[in-house]
Structure 1
Amino acid sequence: MSHIEQLYWGGAALIALWLALFGLSLLVTRNGTVTPGPATQEFGPDPEPPAVVSLLAGNWRGVEYAAAATLLDLAARGLLELRQPADDPLATTVHVTEAGRTAQDLPSYERRVLERVVSRTTEGGAPIGAIAFRDAKRAAAFHTELRKDIVAEARLRGLSRSRFAPWLASLLLLLAFVPGALFSLAAIMGEHGVRAAFVVGAAPVSALCWLLAKALGERATPRGLERAGHWAGLRAWLAGHEDFGRLPPAAVTVWDRYLAFGTALGVTSLAGRLLGFDAGDRRRVWSSYGGTWRPVRIRYPRLRPGFGASAGRLLHLAAAAALVAAALGAFAVLRQPDWVLTADAHSGSTLRRPGLVLSAGWVGSLLLGVIVAGKFRRWTLFLVFLAMMPGNFASDSDGWFVDAAAQDGPLAVEWAAIAVFAVLAGYLLVLACLERREPDTIEGEVLRVEWRKDRKAARFLALDEGVTDLTRAWALPAASRGIATGAQVRLTVSRGTRTIRSAELIRAALWEGDRPEPATAGPHSS
């Protein structure tokens, strides 16, 4: 066995050894079993806050309802107030009391939740739906930091600890690099080049580090298991009340802290769902632009030809649509019955089958339009191959394809396709002409900014102009920067294609609060 082979086999053996050590570490540090205590309504002499209880109830992994439970706990302690003016829990509003505005020395996770509520409320309060974030990244960042705060509190109380000791995590991380180093050295000795050495060395290191990162987390202490059992007993007591799970957030005035703990334990599903600190509903966003809170419905133009396109691009697409209509028309008019051969006239395989000839003409016309439109992708030819299959496998002695190929002149389906593409070409041409008009200027607050599946395509920007409760998203060029949800902006737009041509920032938005604050930023061109 050569030295190179020895290095490869040595690296493989070290990977197996690392996996064995990793598996043993997982086995030794697995979380203990929580033994539920008897059903009880007592919190205990020094009860943990609902946020920490949510960590214990989530088996030291998730804190799904921690933010909602903390909000309810703040309301039970008089720092917030929840009001439900009607029978609909969705109409509940949240208000910050004087005690909440002057509260001091709150734990970091409670301070984080309170600041979020304060930033979203006005003097008249705010709907509970307005607490939700308008951006998924902001919501994820909020919950990441909130979980860190809760874990720190749980460790301070002796309820949680890191799953892997620092020395063990460092050892596993260090050993993860050794097999990659051996593979890289073997590649260099085999004269495969530095690039190849980097690839074969980085592959096992990346995989092992990914496994290690997934395993890092929290696990229970003996004290934590004991307290988790106690809270499981409280959960059993709360679950014994049939109507408790359907209580609205405003019921905190009657149930006090029980509603907060029930939410942390996953019993009050309604309250936890309504008080979501997530990215919210992308089609229904609460806005206070204009002075009063109201829900604004957002429509996204999914199937709108020319959406976000420039005048040049519209002419380009119009030419492609016109070419498809012309190619289909020429094929339909010039087609002759003797272009095809049936099985009676010719035995065996032939490229002149009726179905194949018709499919080739139709698919070929569409392919010309795709090429002219600049939409040719790596999968286009594969899609062309699939589109030819029905005609290729169709019977060449009887059936619809045979009758269609024998017909003189365009078919009804061809007339329909020609008309559709001709109308599309005319529509795009009209849009291109309208793009030469002077753009309009609008002003409002940005409700949402969303990427589309194609990152090179224009993004969706929903703007609340304060005039109506319904808005349609605009097309924000993908290269645009400096526009965030909650910002107040002045836009120059083309209404035909709903494209934003330029944007001027009037007021910036706070990262946490999504509420505008004065800014000195100048105009931002799109």
Structure 2
Amino acid sequence: MSHTDQLYWGGAALIVLWLLLFGLSLLATRNGTVTPAPATQEFGPDPESPAVVSFLGNNWRGVGSAAAATLLDLAARGYIELRQPADDPAASTVHVTDEGRAAQDLRPYEGRVLERVISRTTEGGAPIGAIAFRDAKRAAAFNAELRKDIVAEARLRGLSRSRFASWLAGGLMLLACAPGVLFGLAALMGHHGVRAAFVVCVLPASAMFWLLAKVLGERATPRGLERAGHWAGLRAWLTAHEDFARLPPAAVAVWDRYLAYGTALGVTSLAGRLLGFDAGDRRRVWSSYGGTWRPVRIRYPRLLPGFGASKGRLLQLAGAAALVAAALIAFGVLRQPDWTIAADAHDGGTLRRPGLILSAGWVVSVLLGVIVAGKFRRWTLFLAFLATMPGNFASGTHGWWHDAAAQDGPVPVEWAAIVVFGALAVYFVVLACLELRAPHTITGEVLRVEWRKDRRAARFLALDEGGTDLTTAWALPAASRGIATGAQVRLTVSRGTRTVRSAELIRAALWEGDWSEASAPGRATA
């Protein structure tokens, strides 16, 4: 065995050794079993906060209900007031009391929740739905910081610890680098080049680092298991109350801190769902622009042809649609019956089947339009090949495919396609002409800014102009900067394509608001 082979086998052996040690570490550091205590309504001396209880109740992994439970706990302690003016719990409002605005000695995560509520409420309060974030990144960042604060307190109280000790995590990281080093040396000795050596060096370590990062987290201490068992007893007591799970947030005035702990333990499904600190409903956003809170419904024109296109792009799309229509006409007029040969049992592999000729002509016509439209992608030819398959299986001397191929001029399905693509060409030309008009100017508050699947495409910008409860998203060019959720802006727009041409910042989004990009006073680009 050569030295190169020895290095490769040595690297493979180290990977097996690492996986074995990794598996043994997982077994040795798994959480213990929580033994539920008898049902009880007592919190016990020096009870943990509902946020920490949420962490323990989720097996030391997540804190999904911690923010909602903390809000209810703040309400039970008099910092926040929840009101339900009607029968619908979703119509409840949240208000910050004078004690809440002057609060000082709060835990870090309680301060975060209270700051969020203060930022979204006015003197008259705010709907509970307005607490939700308008931006997914901002919501994720808020909840990540909230989890760090909760984990820090759980560790301080001796309820949680790092799953892997620092020496164990460091040793596994160091050992994960060894196989890649051996593979890299073997690649160099085998004259595979520096690039190949770098690849085989990095890939094994990256995979093992990824596995290690997936399990690095928290695990219970003996004290933590004991306290989790106590709170499991409280969960059993709360679950015995049949109506407790359906209590609205405003019921905190009657149930006091029990509602907060019930939300933390997953017993109160309704209150936890209504008090969401996530990205919220992207189609229904609460807005106070104009002076009063109201829900604004957002429509996203995903299927609108020409959405966000410039004049040049519209003319390009018009040319592509016109080319498809012209190609279909030409194919229908020039097509001759002798182009096809009816396949039989002795000539089943012919390329001149009626169905294959027709489907190939249609696919080529569409491909020409795709190329002109600039939409040709890596898988376009493969999809075109699949599109010809139905016609490839049509054979014989009669049938629809044979009759259509023998017909003079375009067949009805071709005429239908010609009309559709012709109408699209006219539509794009009309839109391009409308773009010559002077753009409109609108003013409002940005409700949401969302990326689309294709990051090069225009983003959706939902603007609340203050005069309606329904708005349709505008197309914000992907390269634009300075448009932030929560900011007040003056937009210059083209209504035909619903495109934002330019944007001027009137008031930047404050820190307490939720934003998707940093914004600064001045003129934004679009």
TM-score, normalisation: structure 2:
0.98
What CA distance in whole angstroms lies between the structure 1 residues aligned with 2:346 and 2:172?
72
What CA distance in whole angstroms lies between the structure 1 residues aligned with 2:14 and 2:417?
63
Q: Deviations over 1:265-291 (max 9, x none)?
A: 000000000000000001000011111
Q: What letter matches 2:378 in structure 1? A: R
Q: What letter matches 1:483 in structure 2? A: I
Q: What letter matches 1:239 in structure 2? A: T
Counterpart mapping for 1:326-341 below 5 A: 326-341=326-341
Q: Report the Cα offset of residue 40 of structure 1.
A: 0.5
Instruction: Decide whether aligned partners of structure 1 residues 54 and 520 sit closer, same or farther in structure 2, where only a CA change above 3 A counts.
Output: closer
Q: Report the Cα offset of residue 172 of structure 1.
A: 1.1
Match of 2:156 in 1: 156
Counterpart mapping for 1:401-412 below 5 A: 401-412=401-412
Match of 1:419 in 2: 419
What CA distance in whole angstroms lies between the structure 1 residues aligned with 2:301 and 2:288?
24
Counterpart mapping for 1:68-217 below 5 A: 68-217=68-217
Q: Report the Cα offset of residue 395 of structure 1.
A: 2.4
Match of 1:316 in 2: 316
Structure 2: gaps (5+ residues)? none
Q: Report the Cα offset of residue 3 of structure 1.
A: 1.4
Q: What letter matches 1:90 in structure 2? A: A
Q: Secondary structure at the match of 2:508?
A: strand
Match of 2:275 in 1: 275
Counterpart mapping for 1:300-315 below 5 A: 300-315=300-315
Match of 1:351 in 2: 351
Q: Report the Cα offset of residue 118 of structure 1.
A: 0.4
Q: What letter matches 2:24 in structure 1? A: L
Q: Report the Cα offset of residue 131 of structure 1.
A: 0.4
Tell whether the 8 Å contact from 1:63 to 1:147 is kept in structure 2 after alignment.
Answer: yes
Match of 1:246 in 2: 246
What CA distance in whole angstroms lies between the structure 2 residues aligned with 1:254 and 1:171?
53
Identity %: 82
Q: Report the Cα offset of residue 232 of structure 1.
A: 0.3
What CA distance in whole angstroms lies between the structure 1 residues aligned with 2:161 and 2:513?
32
Q: Report the Cα offset of residue 337 of structure 1.
A: 2.0
What CA distance in whole angstroms lies between the structure 2 residues aligned with 1:338 and 1:180?
64
Tell whether the 8 Å contact from 1:448 to 1:463 is kept in structure 2 after alignment.
Answer: yes
Q: Report the Cα offset of residue 182 of structure 1.
A: 1.3
What CA distance in whole angstroms lies between the structure 2 residues aligned with 1:252 and 1:46?
21
Q: Report the Cα offset of residue 18 of structure 1.
A: 1.2
What CA distance in whole angstroms lies between the structure 1 residues aligned with 2:126 and 2:55?
28
Q: Deviations over 1:457-505 (max 9, x none)?
A: 1111101111111110110111111211111111111111001111111
Structure 1: gaps (5+ residues)? none
What CA distance in whole angstroms lies between the structure 1 residues aligned with 2:441 and 2:148?
44
Match of 1:39 in 2: 39
Q: What letter matches 1:19 in structure 2? A: L
What CA distance in whole angstroms lies between the structure 2 residues aligned with 1:14 and 1:383?
44
Q: Report the Cα offset of residue 434 of structure 1.
A: 0.8
Instruction: Decide whether aligned partners of structure 1 residues 344 and 238 sit closer, same or farther in structure 2, where only a CA change above 3 A counts.
Output: closer
Tell whether the 8 Å contact from 1:57 to 1:228 is kept in structure 2 after alignment.
Answer: yes
Q: Report the Cα offset of residue 345 of structure 1.
A: 12
What CA distance in whole angstroms lies between the structure 2 residues aligned with 1:46 and 1:435?
68
Match of 1:59 in 2: 59
Match of 1:220 in 2: 220
Tell whether the 8 Å contact from 1:120 to 1:514 is kept in structure 2 after alignment.
Answer: no
Q: Report the Cα offset of residue 511 of structure 1.
A: 4.3
What CA distance in whole angstroms lies between the structure 1 residues aligned with 2:347 and 2:45?
93
Q: Secondary structure at the match of 1:490?
A: strand
98-107 or 6-15, which moves further after superposition?
6-15
Tell whether the 8 Å contact from 1:138 to 1:511 is kept in structure 2 after alignment.
Answer: no
What CA distance in whole angstroms lies between the structure 2 residues aligned with 1:3 and 1:122?
74
What CA distance in whole angstroms lies between the structure 2 residues aligned with 1:279 and 1:270?
18
Q: Report the Cα offset of residue 4 of structure 1.
A: 1.4
Q: What letter matches 1:424 in structure 2? A: L
State the Cα RMSD in Å.
1.4
What CA distance in whole angstroms lies between the structure 2 residues aligned with 1:131 and 1:435?
39
Q: Report the Cα offset of residue 338 of structure 1.
A: 2.1
Q: Report the Cα offset of residue 245 of structure 1.
A: 0.3
Q: Report the Cα offset of residue 520 of structure 1.
A: 6.2
Q: Report the Cα offset of residue 344 of structure 1.
A: 6.3
Match of 1:264 in 2: 264
Q: Deviations over 1:330-351 (max 9, x none)?
A: 1112222222221369844322
Q: Report the Cα offset of residue 407 of structure 1.
A: 2.2
Tell whether the 8 Å contact from 1:239 to 1:245 is kept in structure 2 after alignment.
Answer: yes
Q: What letter matches 1:96 in structure 2? A: V
What CA distance in whole angstroms lies between the structure 2 residues aligned with 1:272 and 1:512?
23
Tell whether the 8 Å contact from 1:318 to 1:426 is kept in structure 2 after alignment.
Answer: yes
What CA distance in whole angstroms lies between the structure 2 residues aligned with 1:351 and 1:31?
66
Instruction: Decide whether aligned partners of structure 1 residues 520 and 386 sit closer, same or farther in structure 2, where only a CA change above 3 A counts.
Output: closer
What CA distance in whole angstroms lies between the structure 1 residues aligned with 2:233 and 2:510?
42
Q: Secondary structure at the match of 1:302?
A: coil
What CA distance in whole angstroms lies between the structure 1 residues aligned with 2:375 and 2:68?
47
Tell whether the 8 Å contact from 1:94 to 1:125 is kept in structure 2 after alignment.
Answer: yes
Match of 1:506 in 2: 506
What CA distance in whole angstroms lies between the structure 1 residues aligned with 2:208 and 2:3?
25
TM-score, normalisation: structure 1:
0.98
What CA distance in whole angstroms lies between the structure 1 residues aligned with 2:520 and 2:456?
30
What CA distance in whole angstroms lies between the structure 1 residues aligned with 2:141 and 2:386?
44
Q: Deviations over 1:203-250 (max 9, x none)?
A: 010011111111110001111000000000000000001110000000
Match of 2:521 in 1: 521
Tell whether the 8 Å contact from 2:138 to 2:515 is kept in structure 1 after alignment.
Answer: no
Q: Secondary structure at the match of 2:219?
A: strand
Q: Deviations over 1:38-68 (max 9, x none)?
A: 0011110111000000000000001110000
What CA distance in whole angstroms lies between the structure 2 residues aligned with 1:178 and 1:18?
10
Q: What letter matches 1:122 in structure 2? A: T
